[in-house]
């Protein structure tokens, strides 16, 4: 059985919970509160020197970091992970896009605007960039998903799971999805998939630890 | 034969050229000058709606974007791409790390400080963040590579290629690698690999197109 180090409000950790729920795979959940510095303790840093969640224990003393790498690991051999060479490459393409173009913008906006009390004021200088780059990423996604039911391989895969995590909370952090009808339809399709679980986060309940 | 849309000075495009050279795979190179807007023309956007290079033509009318996804595609079935489940996951871990923690900082600093005339003044407000996050990423890499010869699978893989692209020019954009002896040794090992080619870029020769 897997052990997943996770933070409930992290979209990156949610991806892994969503994939494991769809697959019906049992796992032990260890909640790590990064805002209380729990991912920066000496003990946690021996598990993940990058000090981040999610983190998956894959064998005694062996840990895997980076949400999208964990998705490939847990979904390996299932329909969620495309095996065909070009399908796999296209799923990877969207997953690298997610970490490079979507998560740094919508993920950052979600964290500071939706989760952190007073975060909007603290990050006012960065907000314009996040909004511009985030909307640009959503435009690229809309263009694809208007012509395809899923992001890769013509079926529900970990590419959808990776992109869903922050896109489905985009409206909670100033990203109005009215202009993106195909994305909204796709979000509804993902939510209708078997084993779907909600992210279950709470708004603005957190204060930044110094 | 592949067609690769590339920009000579792009570290992300260099990754693909480096992998193809190591593999001895012939390809047609199409130079795209993103600073002249050549990746934003209607014609190019039909190939890659995200408007970026590198881009690989994999079949008539079919294109693959995202440098690290392209690496998996071209290296598939070779020793550069780990096939074992955990080795593959660890290679992916480092490649997602590269796109999320290394490239946005060292890649951005390289672009603005080393390639663009007057870039330092234009990006002064962002530089402190890039340096702090970039040095943090280098610290995570040093910690790993001090104990391992390569980043994944115990051999030269596309994870090394992905990380090498911007790390080997880090010293050109204010990242002093003196504190990272294991990284410097690893850079030398990568440069000794068969088929190694240089990135071949020119310093500060470019002006920003408006």
The pLDDT tens digits of the residues spanning A74-105 come to 999 999 999 999 999 999 999 999 999 999 99
Most distant CA pair in chain B, distance: 48
Question: Which of the four pLDDT bands, split at 50, 70 and 90, describes residue A35?
Answer: confident
**Rounded distance between C-alpha atoms, residue B200 and residue B27, angstroms:** 18
Most confident of A59-63, A124-128, A161-165: A161-165
Pick the CATH number of B2-75 from 3.30.465.10, 3.40.50.670, 3.40.30.10, 3.10.20.740: 3.40.30.10
A171 touches chain B (CB under 8 A): no
**Rounded distance between C-alpha atoms, residue A30 and residue A206, angstroms:** 19
Residue closest to B22 by CA, chosen among B196, B159, B198, B151: B196
User: Which residues 77-96 on chain B approach chain A with CB closer than 8 angstroms?
Assistant: 85-86, 88-90, 92-93, 95-96
**Rounded distance between C-alpha atoms, residue B183 and residue B186, angstroms:** 5
pLDDT per residue rounded down to tens, chain B (210 residues): 999 999 999 999 999 999 999 999 999 999 999 888 999 999 999 999 999 999 999 999 999 999 999 999 999 999 999 999 999 999 999 999 999 999 999 999 999 999 999 999 999 989 999 999 999 999 999 999 999 999 999 999 999 999 999 999 999 999 999 999 999 999 999 999 999 999 988 776 666 654
**Rounded distance between C-alpha atoms, residue B179 and residue B181, angstroms:** 6
Q: Domain B85-191's class? A: mainly alpha
Residue closest to B65 by CA, chosen among A149, A93, A153: A93
Domain range annotation of chain B: 2-75, 85-191
Helix (H) or strand (E) holding B28: strand B27-31
User: Which residues 113-152 on chain B approach chain A with CB closer than 8 angstroms?
Assistant: 125, 140, 143-144
Q: Please determine, for residue A73, whether its predicted confidence score (pLDDT) is greater than 70.
A: yes
Average pLDDT over residues A182-192: 98
Q: Which among B50, B72, B101 is the nearest to A92, CB-wise?
A: B72
pLDDT at residue B207, as a whole number:
66
User: What residues of B are in contact with residue A47 (Cβ under 8 Å)?
Assistant: none
B100/A89 Cβ within 8 A: no
Q: Which among B72, B93, B125 is the nearest to A66, CB-wise?
A: B93
**Residue whose pair of structure tokens reads 């983190």 in the numeric block:** A55
Render pLDDT for A112-160 as a digit per residue (tens, 0 to 9).
999 998 999 999 989 999 999 999 999 999 999 999 999 999 999 999 9
The shortest C-alpha distance from B141 to chain A (Å) reads 9
Q: Please determine, for residue A205, whether its predicted confidence score (pLDDT) is greater than 70.
A: no
Q: Please determine, for residue A210, whether its predicted confidence score (pLDDT) is greater than 50.
A: no
pLDDT at residue B208, as a whole number:
63
Q: Please determine, for residue A209, whether its predicted confidence score (pLDDT) is greater than 80.
A: no
Cα dihedral A115/A117/A118/A122 (nearest 10): -50
User: What residues of A are in contact with residue B135 (Cβ under 8 Å)?
Assistant: none
The DSSP call for residue A34 is G
CA atoms within 13 A on the CB side of A51: 16
The shortest C-alpha distance from A73 to chain B (Å) reads 6
pLDDT at residue B210, as a whole number:
43
CA atoms within 13 A on the CB side of A134: 24
Q: Which among A76, A86, A93 is the nearest to B85, CB-wise?
A: A76
pLDDT at residue A207, as a whole number:
66
């Amino acid at each position: 059985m897997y052990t997943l180090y996770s933070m409930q409000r992290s979209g990156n950790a949610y991806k892994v919970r969503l994939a494991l729920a769809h697959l019906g795979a049992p796992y032990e959940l260890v909640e790590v509160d990064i805002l209380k510095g729990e991912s920066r303790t000496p003990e946690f840093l021996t598990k993940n020197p990058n000090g981040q969640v999610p983190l998956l224990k894959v064998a005694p003393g062996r840990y895997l970091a980076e949400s999208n790498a964990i998705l490939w690991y847990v979904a390996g051999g299932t329909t969620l992970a495309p095996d065909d060479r070009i399908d796999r490459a296209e799923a990877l393409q969207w997953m690298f896009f997610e970490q490079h173009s979507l998560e740094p913008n919508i993920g950052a906006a979600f964290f500071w605007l939706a989760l952190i009390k007073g975060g909007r004021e603290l990050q006012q200088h960065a907000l314009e960039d996040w909004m511009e780059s985030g909307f640009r990423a959503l435009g690229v996604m809309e263009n694809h998903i208007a012509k395809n039911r899923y992001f890769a391989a013509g079926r529900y895969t970990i590419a959808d799971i990776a992109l869903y995590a922050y896109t489905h909370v985009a409206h909670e952090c100033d990203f109005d999805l009215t202009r993106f009808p195909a994305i909204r339809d796709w979000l509804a399709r993902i939510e209708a998939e078997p084993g779907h679980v909600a992210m279950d986060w709470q708004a603005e309940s957190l204060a930044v630890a110094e």
